[in-house]
A and B are shown apart, each in its own frame.
Chain A
Amino acid sequence: DQQVKQNSPSLSVQEGRISILNCDYTNSMFDYFLWYKKYPAEGPTFLISISSIKDKNEDGRFTVFLNKSAKHLSLHIVPSQPGDSAVYFCAASSAGGTSYGKLTFGQGTILTVHP
């Protein structure tokens, strides 16, 4: 039972354009969402997060949008740069239950930004 899904295994974008990475979730108990970036042979690096009480959070070139009714979030990167090429993981956590604070990850999307 995959509670967090990233349906696009890969995305290819031209440098300078917008990259949009999507994530869907099924567990309505999730109330905090995060995006991580991962380069090969490195650990995931935290990028940006959003609480379920908000619908948008922005940090520089990165913006995360949350549509709670659709159980959907997206990460926008504008403008995209070749250094953004990596695997992007969406993750979710809940404040309640015995597994509070536990991160549930999506399968990841490989982003390639071409010069």
Chain B
Amino acid sequence: SQTIHQWPATLVQPVGSPLSLECTVEGTSNPNLYWYRQAAGRGLQLLFYSVGIGQISSEVPQNLSASRPQDRQFILSSKKLLLSDSGFYLCAWSLTPYQAFFGQGTRLTVV
């Protein structure tokens, strides 16, 4: 069966520090991969999606970047965090247009 791992679950980082969130998927090949951010009252905002290794599409101009070094690995990064980067970050994968599977999320607080 397919599983998605996302870590860490909680992270507190100072302003100006770097960020690296990792997501891995097991049990499937060549999935579409996604990073979403969820802020209170704003729903899930699509940040990046990837259809294959090295192929990244950015949805929102921001302080973040994403990379897909392996088929089932998706990384969200920042060189210098801002206060506005705080939020709940969710990784997801899909193979169909009607179902995405989400990880358990990382709650990031920038202080």
Q: Do A and B bind each other?
A: no
Interfacial residues, chain B to chain A (CB-CB below 8 A) = none
